[in-house]
Structure 1
Amino acid sequence: MKEEIQQEAPPAKEQAGAFEFGIYTLGDISSDPLTGQTLSARDRMKEIVAAAKLADEAGIDVFGVGEHHRLDFAVTSPPVVLAAIAQATKKIRLTSATTVLGTSDPVRVFEDFSTLDLLSDGRAEIIAGRGAYVESFPLFGYELADYKELFYEKINLLLKLNDSDRMTWNGRFRTALQNAEIAPRPLQPGLPVWVGVGGTPQSAELAGKLGVGMALAILGGDPAHFKPLVDVYREAGIRAGHHKEDLKVAITSHGYIAESTQQAKDEYYPYYASYVAQFMGGNARGEKLARGQFEQLANPVNALAVGSPDLIIEKILAQHELFGHSRFMAQFDIGGIPFSKVAASIELLATKVAPVVRRELSKPS
């Protein structure tokens, strides 16, 4: 890292339109692999609110909460959890990460997040996605065969609800609306909506056509492999008549920050390996993620955001060269990792990483 990149930057609040930093959680309930302890759902919720409060006080821009409908995750209702967070925070924006829109009623989603917007004085956002898990389809009476069609119809309806306080609409998967009152209305002129994208060009193209932000999950590998998705997104948006500056990209990644890269890798590895085994399919042969595999995932070229503040700065700036994104969001709290370590990562992201990235990106090109 060059010496000038280690100098102090002006506070983020002084930089209009600055690059945004976020924290998100899926609220997994996992045993700590080192102690064997497992938090209750109640205690996990309390940790999530505490993390959001800390992020707000540290100057992080966005806090996200995911949605799952299974016993090894604490959060099934992001707007309820975010409403609690709204009362404990002052400035941080509050988003789902993501709302599983295919198995939700867009009217109910809009009303819930509009309520959150009012309670938070205009801080609500929605990241809508198809979802990485499918347990909500049978739970709420939807057919998995309709996976794509459900999302397409519902994302279009959700966006229309931003436009008017009365709605007449007809579709395939919910009852028709006839001059229906959509209440309450958000405090913001419209709820910001992003589409969460994993790895499919079709999802990226849809986000572009709709003219909404794209939250791109890059959980491993070389970020350059995801560049075509960003290109598809922006090209589709411009073809659909949307302004380039409105086609915002957020990058979301797993991560962990410590004073040194070696410390970060040593501390994070057992929790990451546990999380991979429990939630990401583990090794194809059922084996635990080897330390050598983890080292490869965390190397300076690849996307896993694990390392010292300097290394994380380098990774974000390198990704910005590829994507021109305006937001980076990290998931720190996975695999039963203690809250104290999550808190330390949040502090380092806010105080060591964010100011330098913002300053570097504000320099004339």
Structure 2
Amino acid sequence: MEIGISTFLEATPNPGVGQAVSHAQRLRNAVEEIVLADQVGLDVYGIGEHHRADYAATAPAVVLAAAAAMTKRIRLTSAVTVLSSDDPVRVYQAFSTLDGLSNGRAEIMAGRGSFIESFPLFGYSLDDYDALFEQNLELLLKIRASEKVSWSGGHRPAIQNLGVYPRSVQQPLPVWIASGGNPESAVRAGTLGLPIAFAIIGGMPERFAPLVELYKKAAARAGHDPSKLPIATHSHGFISDTNEKAADSFFPHTQAQMNVIGRERGWPFYDRAAFDAARSLRGALYVGDAEYVAEKIVLLRQNLGVNRFFLHMDVSTMPHSELLRAIELLGTRVAPLVHKEITRLEG
């Protein structure tokens, strides 16, 4: 069971003081967080690509590369790369470069993106939302499989027997599919024999069990061994010394961010009652002390059989000192408790 952190490098105003951290400072903070995560034994750190003023993560591979030389074992991944609006050649080159710098610790998590700002920014039509992802994923997988590539598609110029460099240290370079709960994404990932990561930010995580089963059945039909395909989840949460302290620290930031996005998407107003319900044992928020968060991760493992868990903690720019403390608790307290209990339950 791998445990790690995901982030979009939030750079939003602090609800308490109304002042936003600068993009430059948030980027520097991220490198410090990755180094600490490595030191406390966490397995993976992921940065999700976004192209908005309230996030600093337009170039995840660059930030991860800055931390690569300062870390030893932690895996470094996008979470996600918006593959629909990027060029698969450049995506592979960026992450194979990161793989070389980190001596084989890079990964790509590819998704269609739940935010759409990158499409007009790079000149793509939302009418091609699905077709672009399918085409670009096909090309990315072809590139990672072969040094010389020949390919043609409808939305990108053809490639005729050209080399793509540098080649990754890992063969093949790991590529995950990210899904917000779309059945088609689960089937696609299973059919291709790719690991899958589910974003679970609402409802009860156990409700994703049918999607996990759909994924495994699609993999088996395509001739892949489902038991060898990793499954990850990504959820919001925060860790502090007590359940009450964690909740009181995390709620204002969660409320601020959820209501910003909610106004854009027509969600109802997010209040403390919704927050408290979500941090219950079967809810999607992993907020509490080390023992409680560990209990929730073990329950997730039992319900979904996940191999990797991402905790997303810097919702609406959590104070950096509190975030560092939470990373320390996740690595030194939560992860050992999870591993001990899983060993006890599964042998």
Report the TM-score, using the length of structure 2 for normalisation: 0.96
**1:163 is aligned to 2:145:** yes
* Mapped pair 1:319 → 2:309: no
Matched, 1:343 2:343: no
Q: Tell me the equivalent position of 1:333.
A: 314
Amino acid at match of 2:161: N
1:41, distance to aligned residue in structure 2 (A): 0.7
| Deviation for aligned residue 1:88 | 2.2
Q: Specify every segment of 5 or more residues in structure 2 that has no aligned partner in the other structure, as ranges.
A: none
Q: Partners in 2 of 1:286 and 1:318 — Cα distance?
A: 28
Give the structure 2 partner of residue 238 of structure 1: 220
Verify the 8 A CA contact 1:255 1:304 in the aligned structure 2: yes
Q: Residue by residue, what CA displacement relative to the aligned partner does 1:79-118 show, whole Å, maximum 9, x if unpaired? A: 1111111122221110001000000111110111001101
Tell me if the contact between 1:68 and 1:75 (Cα under 8 Å) persists in the aligned partners. yes
Choose from 112, 120, 136 the match for 1:130: 112
| Deviation at residue 245 of structure 1 after TM alignment | 2.5
* SS of residue matched to 2:248: helix
Given candidates 333, 339, 342, the residue that maps to 1:358 is 339
Which deviations, in whole Å up to 9, do the C-alpha atoms of 1:261-317 show, x marking residues without a partner?
Answer: 111111111111111122344895774x22111111111111111111111111111
1:53 and 2:42 aligned: no
Deviation string, structure 1 residues 201-232 (Cα, Å, up to 9, x no partner): 01111111111110101012111211111111
Counterpart of 1:296 (choices 277, 286, 306) is 277
SS at match of 1:328: strand
- Asked if the contact 1:103/1:136 (under 8 Å) is kept, the reply is yes
Post-superposition offset of 1:20: 0.5
Task: Return the alpha-carbon distance in structure 2 between the equivalents of residues 189 and 280 of structure 1.
Answer: 41
1:192 lines up with 2:174 in the alignment: yes
Matching residue's letter, 2:305: G
Q: TM-score, normalised by structure 1?
A: 0.92
* Percent pairwise identity: 45
Letter aligned with residue 103 of structure 1: S
Distance 1:240 1:344 in 2: 44
| Counterpart position of 1:34 | 16
Distance 2:141 2:214 in 1: 21
One-letter code aligned to 1:131: G
Q: Please tell me the residue identity of whatever aligns with 1:217.
A: A
Please list, as runs of the form range in 1=range in 2, the aligned pairs for 1:262-273 lying within 5 A after superposition. Answer: 262-273=244-255
Aligned 1:79-228 pairs, distance under 5 A: 79-228=61-210
Does the C-alpha gap of structure 1 residues 283 and 180 become closer, same or farther in structure 2, counting only changes over 3 Å? closer
For 2:4, give the aligned amino acid. Answer: G
For the residue of structure 1 that corresponds to 2:145, the secondary structure is coil
1:141 and 1:290 map into 2 onto residues whose CA distance is 38
Equivalences, count: 346
Structure 1 residues 121 and 205: alpha-carbon distance in aligned structure 2, compared to 1, 3 A threshold: same
- Assess if the C-alpha contact under 8 Å between 1:31 and 1:37 holds in 2: yes
Please say if residues 291 and 337 of structure 2, whose CA atoms lie closer than 8 Å, have aligned partners that are also in contact. no
Shift in Å, 1:122: 0.8
The alpha carbon displacement at 1:27 in A equals 1.0
**Residue of structure 1 equivalent to 2:235:** 253
Counterpart of 1:5?
none
In the alignment, is the contact (CA less than 8 A) between 2:279 and 2:286 conserved in 1? Answer: yes
CA gap of 1:124–1:134, structure 2 versus 1, over 3 A, is same
Cα-Cα RMSD:
1.4
Instruction: For residue 35 of structure 1, report the CA deviation from its aligned partner.
Output: 1.7
SS at match of 2:69: helix
- Is the Cα–Cα contact under 8 Å of residues 35 and 70 in structure 2 kept in the other structure? yes
CA distance in 1, matches of 2:275, 2:10: 20
Q: Secondary structure at the match of 1:194?
A: strand
User: Structure 2 CA distance, aligned partners of 1:273 and 1:133?
Assistant: 19
Amino acid at match of 1:158: L
SS of residue in 2 equivalent to 1:107: helix
C-alpha displacement at 1:63, in angstroms? 0.6
Q: Which amino acid aligns with 1:41?
A: H
The amino acid of 1:55's aligned partner reads A
